[in-house]
Amino acid sequence: MKKMKKLNLLGFFLLGCFIATAQDSAIKSSVRNVETKVDSVLALMTIEEKVGQLVQYNGSWDLTGPASEMNNKQKEENLKAGKVGAMLNVLSVEATREAQKLVMENSRLKIPLMFGYDVIHGYTTIFPVPLAETASWDLEAMERTAQIAALESAANGVNWTFSPMIDVSRDARWGRIMEGSGEDPYLTSKVAVAKVKGYQSDDLSNPQSIAATAKHFAGYGFGEAGRDYNTVHIGENELHNTILPPFEAAAKAGVATFMNAFNDLDGIPATGHKTLQRDILKKDWDWDGFVVSDWGSIPEMIAHGFAKDKKEAAKIALNAGSDMDMEGGAYESSLVSLVEEREVSEDYIDDAVRRVLRVKFKLGLFDNPYLYSNAKLLEEISFEEHKNVARDVARKSIVLLKNEGELLPIKESVKKIAVIGPLADDNDTPIGNWRAQGESNSAVSLLEGLQNNLSENIKITYAKGADLGIGERSFLMPLEINKTDTSGFEEAINTASEADLVIMALGEDAFQTGEGRSQVNIGLAGVQQELLEEIYEVNQNVVLVLINGRPLEITWASENIPAIVEAWQLGSESGNAIADVLLGDYNPSGKLPVSFPRAVGQEPLYYNQKSTGRPSNPIHVTYSGYTDEKNDALFPFGFGLSYTTFEYGDLTISDEELTPEKPIEVSFNLSNTGKREGKEIVQLYIRDFVASTTRPVKELKGFEAVTLAPGETKTVTFEINEPMLRFYGANKTWESESGEFEVFIGGNSRDLKKASFNLKKLGLKASAQELIWKEDFEGDSLNMENWSYETGDGCPDLCGWGNNERQIYSEDYVEVKDGKLVITADKVGDAYYSGKVNTKDKFEFQYGTVEVRAKLPDGHGLWPAIWMLGDNINEVGWPASGEIDIMEFVGRQPDTIHNALHTPASHGDTENIKTTPVKNATSGFHVFKMNWTEDAITFYIDGEKTYTFSPLEKNEETYPYHHPFYFLLNLAVGGNFGGPEVDDSIFPKQFLIDYVKVYK
Ligand code: BGC
């Protein structure tokens, strides 16, 4: 057990068994959607109750951080008073029921609690630690283990896990590197999505799934010198390109909560970081879950020197967008008075509470607060089946680092095996540090695994050789390492010298990695190296099995020991999984998600480094390297051997020029040149040679598992498209830049085949100009191939769509002048007329981004607009075909711009019209942008997101945007539209369009 005492709330909570029904809740679920429900609850709440929802208590004496000052009696009173929104470390059906009951039976509004817990790699059944599991590169397997962890948690009353940890980390000294997915943002993003899907399923109210947490937001993996909780110095470029992508992926995958981080980031503690939490996470990513602080991280801003006391810390954190205070005691003591004193706006509080309530509704807690405290679910679980999954994923996570002379798999000629090492018969270390409710000593040890799986003709002898971790081993306490006692060496040496093969299990104690477990040495701790060398002296047939949570410095072993197996901390089924690999029942396929250094002094070490201005010089010292060691890794990212061999053929590229409209393909033949069936994780890397900011020497952009029979060859093809080449560059947006690229393919990040290609984008406005305009509006450059306007009077084809303007179509009203498209309105008789151009039947498209730079006319009554209409408008009519108003300027309301959508279900509904005030709306050019996907339509004005439209249920009524649309540029005016009071003379009457870009 991670915790010293199994938590039992019965000690101070009321006893009793109370089955809740929907009527227990003061809030009925009859209201239609979650948002309405949330608002209806919020409307009932006092400020004290609101703040209560933002408070999280630890269950009792089960600590994962410094203890708070509050005693249990007081906690109980606060629960009854509705002053607590969530708890953590309350485990078991009984304990969660008891706590929930206090709230449901005593508080005024009976808002159910959430129960969080660090279910990091399993609840009862323990899977490989996350770093290990990532080495499987098997996203389906990772989703499955999260699903099982969710089921076992839910069955014990826990409905919220503080996982996945998706901090990219490149420093093996950091003990928490074990909790993440390693050094690469792309791979970590993929794992993040798999984990969120696994924990949450596609319906949070499913009682077998639980809410997940993307943590720690952000930068926690970059603590200086690998020291936990340490300062993080990274710039905007690294933040966006490396640290944020997994978080954005998790947000987009619908993760219910985020946890912020202990560290400061370029001077601002993450917990008080407004740009991160409010601007990026909540605004730019449009994410609607809630942010929980890390344990006590709000008051820790006092020690950071960022807040003078708890009250100021509460103010900073809440204003910065930290919604819930985990065990910090800052929100409960200060928020109410901060609101009264107007230091924190009630709007911010309401937003935070809404977020919390939203997750609770989605979890189904308002319908049944005891949904997750269901003993029956526990009875139905097949732990046997979970064990099988644990064994399968564990063996997929093993990485074969070296296998000289094909020592592995163990040959039939081997009759006597010596199993040696402090971790060889250790049932505890494979469970790892974050072991949730996995019982101590419950893993199958390596020795047991071999005994279970080896045939009886093979004799196994065992000698421990030495201890590794000694004394008390627990989550919070320092670990003592045996550095002196070698009294077991002699027996081990004797045992080894009599064997045909030695299997040595060395590495790290479970409590050498995890929170607070940073180390400056990452070699084999204690007397292990000495033991290894002495054993090797007497028997060179050594298979070194590493059991550890971080990359280790194993240079000596890599030079001397013939076979090395990276077996990490593999969880409950560790020994059986290792035996499967050693015996050849499973052909290893894992690949390292982190670089293994030659020396700890190389840390932080990662494959996707920058080139520097002095990348290499074999002659002089004046380049970016070391004088006493090589630069590269001992075992690089992506590395892992198999019992068979794979050969990569040369790359064929379908076209050397890639454009945003036209992806290319790279293909090659992969052959199994060995004697066994094997699975190879094929990796695709890309390098951008010259860019507006420096770029890594290579970056992972894709991977695929390919299984081949001996002698078999398969052609493998990857698509390379423009979005894969985007990065956060000098323009401070994610975009690709034209130029030369290299694509690499191989079985690790070092040994690669390559080919070159060019990305061709015709400058900033390029693709659109090609599609829509002739070059740069010079002369009469409106590209008539893509646009049309009709001449003549009256109301031809497009009259009546959207407004009732009269229209005149003639070259006088639509022309290209000084590089701008000018659309003019004029008064003819009593009415105003307008020009209108469109791309109907000429250029229609579906999904992508449209960007228009335009200057609006001022005055009242004019109605310039940039629209899109469905190409099926003639068949289904309007609004059934849908309408997307990228920009609509209703001149009667100066300085406000509409982004609007019309669907059959929402036509006329103001919810779908977002009005945004724009400074100097008519006095300068503004950029109007719209991004359209299968799932959402998002609008931007001058780079600021203004509105996202994404109905939960999507069908032709609510989201008729699954077919191509065409453009309309319009200056529309009805004679009476401006109203009688309008002074005609003020109209400049011209709508200027600088460019229209369209890209995918
Ligand atoms: C850790 C978090 C964890 C929390 C709750 C903190 O010390 O940094 O990752 O979720 O405790 O146990």
Question: Using one digit for the tens of pLDDT, what is the confidence trace for 183-239?
Answer: 999 999 999 999 999 999 999 999 999 999 999 999 999 999 999 999 999 999 999
Band of residue 974 on the pLDDT scale cut at 50, 70, 90: very low
DSSP 794: S
Q: What is the pLDDT of residue 996?
A: 79
Distance CA 976, CA 982 (A): 9
pLDDT surpassing 50 at residue 18: no
Kindly give the distance from the C-alpha atom of residue 175 to the centroid of ligand 1, in angstroms, as a whole number.
13
Q: What is the pLDDT of residue 907?
A: 73
Helix, strand, or coil here: 371? coil
Distance CA 346, CA 488 (A): 66
Q: What is the pLDDT of residue 11?
A: 33
- Complete DSSP assignment for 554-617: -HHHHHH-SEEEE-----TTHHHHHHHHHTTSS------SSPBPSSGGG-S--SS-B--S----
pLDDT surpassing 80 at residue 984: no
Which residues on neighbouring strands pair with residue 864, listed in sequence order?
971
* Ligand 1 atom having least distance to the Cα of 165: 9
pLDDT in tens, 621-638: 999 999 999 999 999 999
Q: What is the pLDDT of residue 843?
A: 74
Q: Which of 515-519, 757-761, 838-842, 953-957 has the lowest mean pLDDT?
A: 838-842
Band of residue 979 on the pLDDT scale cut at 50, 70, 90: very low
Helix, strand, or coil here: 830? coil
CB-based contacts of 205, cutoff 8 Å, min separation 6? 362, 363, 364, 367, 371
pLDDT in tens, 812-843: 677 767 667 777 776 655 555 666 677 777 77
Helix, strand, or coil here: 512? helix
How is residue 726 written in tokens?
């985007």
**Antiparallel, parallel or unpaired: β 678-688 and 664-672:** unpaired
Which positions are annotated as active-site residues? 294
Kindly give the distance from the C-alpha atom of residue 208 to the centroid of ligand 1, in angstroms, as a whole number.
23
DSSP 444: P
* Ligand 1 atom having least distance to the Cα of 216: 9
How is residue 515 written in tokens?
């929170």
Pocket of ligand 1 (CB under 6 A): 64-65, 88, 118, 162, 215, 294-295, 515
Q: Which residues of 971-993 are buried (b: 16+ CB within 10 A; e: fewer)?
A: bbbbbebbeeebeeeebebbbbb
Long-range Cβ contacts of 815-819 (<8 Å, 24+ apart) = 816/777, 816/779, 816/780, 816/781, 816/782, 818/777, 819/776, 819/777, 819/778, 819/994
Residue of 971, 991, 968, 992 lying closest to 832 (CA atoms): 971
pLDDT surpassing 90 at residue 12: no
Kindly give the distance from the C-alpha atom of residue 62 to the centroid of ligand 1, in angstroms, as a whole number.
12
* Ligand 1 atom having least distance to the Cα of 162: 10
pLDDT surpassing 90 at residue 401: yes
Mean pLDDT of the chain, nearest integer? 88
CB-based contacts of 589, cutoff 8 Å, min separation 6? 136, 396, 640, 642, 678, 679, 680, 681, 705
Distance CA 556, CA 506 (A): 14
Q: What is the pLDDT of residue 858?
A: 62
Distance CA 359, CA 209 (A): 13
How is residue 520 written in tokens?
């400056």
Distance CA 967, CA 460 (A): 76
Distance CA 848, CA 294 (A): 38
Which residues on neighbouring strands pair with residue 564, listed in sequence order?
402, 544
Taking residues 602-607, report their average pLDDT. 98
Q: What is the pLDDT of residue 31?
A: 39
Band of residue 1000 on the pLDDT scale cut at 50, 70, 90: low
Kindly give the distance from the C-alpha atom of residue 263 to the centroid of ligand 1, in angstroms, as a whole number.
13
Q: What is the pLDDT of residue 891?
A: 62
User: Model pTM?
Assistant: 0.79
How is residue 922 written in tokens?
């008519």
pLDDT in tens, 89-143: 999 999 999 999 999 999 999 999 999 999 999 999 999 999 999 999 999 999 9
Write the residue with the smallest CA distance to atom 6 of ligand 1: 295
Contact present, 929 and 849 (Cβ < 8 Å): yes
pLDDT in tens, 280-291: 999 999 999 999
Highest mean pLDDT among 80-94, 904-918, 942-956: 80-94
Residue of 666, 696, 664 lying closest to 684 (CA atoms): 666
Distance CA 789, CA 816 (A): 13
* Ligand 1 atom having least distance to the Cα of 163: 10
Q: What is the pLDDT of residue 66?
A: 55
Kindly give the distance from the C-alpha atom of residue 269 to the centroid of ligand 1, in angstroms, as a whole number.
16
Kindly give the distance from the C-alpha atom of residue 344 to the centroid of ligand 1, in angstroms, as a whole number.
27
Helix, strand, or coil here: 480? strand
Which residues on neighbouring strands pair with residue 735, listed in sequence order?
727
Write the residue with the smallest CA distance to atom 2 of ligand 1: 294
Residue of 496, 468, 495 lying closest to 484 (CA atoms): 468
Band of residue 55 on the pLDDT scale cut at 50, 70, 90: very high
Distance CA 758, CA 769 (A): 20
Higher-pLDDT residue of 464 and 844 is: 464
Helix (H) or strand (E) holding 115: strand 114-117
- What region, left, alpha or beta, does residue 861 occupy, with left being phi > 0 and alpha being psi -120 to 50 degrees? left
Kindly give the distance from the C-alpha atom of residue 313 to the centroid of ligand 1, in angstroms, as a whole number.
19
Write the residue with the smallest CA distance to atom 12 of ligand 1: 64
Taking residues 732-746, report their average pLDDT. 93
Kindly give the distance from the C-alpha atom of residue 215 to the centroid of ligand 1, in angstroms, as a whole number.
9
Helix, strand, or coil here: 854? strand
pLDDT surpassing 80 at residue 170: yes
Our mutation pick for probing the ligand 1 site, out of 61, 90, 118, counting the most ligand atoms within 8 A of Cβ, is 118
How is residue 499 written in tokens?
């064997």
Distance CA 434, CA 437 (A): 9
Our mutation pick for probing the ligand 1 site, out of 89, 294, 297, counting the most ligand atoms within 8 A of Cβ, is 294
Write the residue with the smallest CA distance to atom 10 of ligand 1: 162
Q: What is the pLDDT of residue 831?
A: 56
* Ligand 1 atom having least distance to the Cα of 262: 8
Which residues on neighbouring strands pair with residue 451, listed in sequence order?
none
pLDDT surpassing 60 at residue 40: yes
CA distances from 150 to 128, 345, 388, 819 (A): 15, 36, 17, 59
pLDDT in tens, 318-361: 999 999 999 999 999 999 999 999 999 999 999 999 999 999 99
Kindly give the distance from the C-alpha atom of residue 289 to the centroid of ligand 1, in angstroms, as a whole number.
19
Write the residue with the smallest CA distance to atom 8 of ligand 1: 294
Q: What is the pLDDT of residue 730?
A: 85
Q: What is the pLDDT of residue 511?
A: 98
Q: What is the pLDDT of residue 571?
A: 98
* Ligand 1 atom having least distance to the Cα of 89: 12
Taking residues 705-711, report their average pLDDT. 98
Kindly give the distance from the C-alpha atom of residue 546 to the centroid of ligand 1, in angstroms, as a whole number.
27
Kindly give the distance from the C-alpha atom of residue 134 to the centroid of ligand 1, in angstroms, as a whole number.
21
Q: What is the pLDDT of residue 134?
A: 98
Helix and strand numbers (H, E) in the chain are 23, 46
Q: What is the pLDDT of residue 972?
A: 63
Our mutation pick for probing the ligand 1 site, out of 61, 161, 295, 433, counting the most ligand atoms within 8 A of Cβ, is 295
Kindly give the distance from the C-alpha atom of residue 316 to the centroid of ligand 1, in angstroms, as a whole number.
21
How is residue 639 written in tokens?
């590395």
Residues composing the chain: 1000
- Residue 274 sits at φ, ψ, to 5 deg, of -70, -40
Our mutation pick for probing the ligand 1 site, out of 162, 292, 518, counting the most ligand atoms within 8 A of Cβ, is 162
Q: Which of 450-454, 787-791, 973-977 has the lowest mean pLDDT?
A: 973-977
Kindly give the distance from the C-alpha atom of residue 61 to the centroid of ligand 1, in angstroms, as a whole number.
15
Contact present, 572 and 387 (Cβ < 8 Å): yes
Write the residue with the smallest CA distance to atom 4 of ligand 1: 295
* Ligand 1 atom having least distance to the Cα of 261: 8
pLDDT in tens, 250-273: 999 999 999 999 999 999 999 999
Kindly give the distance from the C-alpha atom of residue 296 to the centroid of ligand 1, in angstroms, as a whole number.
9
Neighbours of 74 (CB within 10 A): 11
Residue of 683, 795, 638 lying closest to 181 (CA atoms): 638
pLDDT surpassing 70 at residue 985: no
Band of residue 433 on the pLDDT scale cut at 50, 70, 90: very high
Q: What is the pLDDT of residue 605?
A: 98
Which residues on neighbouring strands pair with residue 820, listed in sequence order?
817
Kindly give the distance from the C-alpha atom of residue 558 to the centroid of ligand 1, in angstroms, as a whole number.
35
pLDDT in tens, 446-468: 999 999 999 999 999 999 999 99
The residue type found at 898 is: H
Our mutation pick for probing the ligand 1 site, out of 64, 160, 271, counting the most ligand atoms within 8 A of Cβ, is 64
Taking residues 162-178, report their average pLDDT. 98
Angle among Cα 363, 366, 367 to the nearest 5 degrees reads: 90
Distance CA 866, CA 886 (A): 6
* Ligand 1 atom having least distance to the Cα of 116: 5
Q: What percent of the chain has pLDDT over 70?
A: 86
Taking residues 157-182, report their average pLDDT. 98
Higher-pLDDT residue of 963 and 603 is: 603
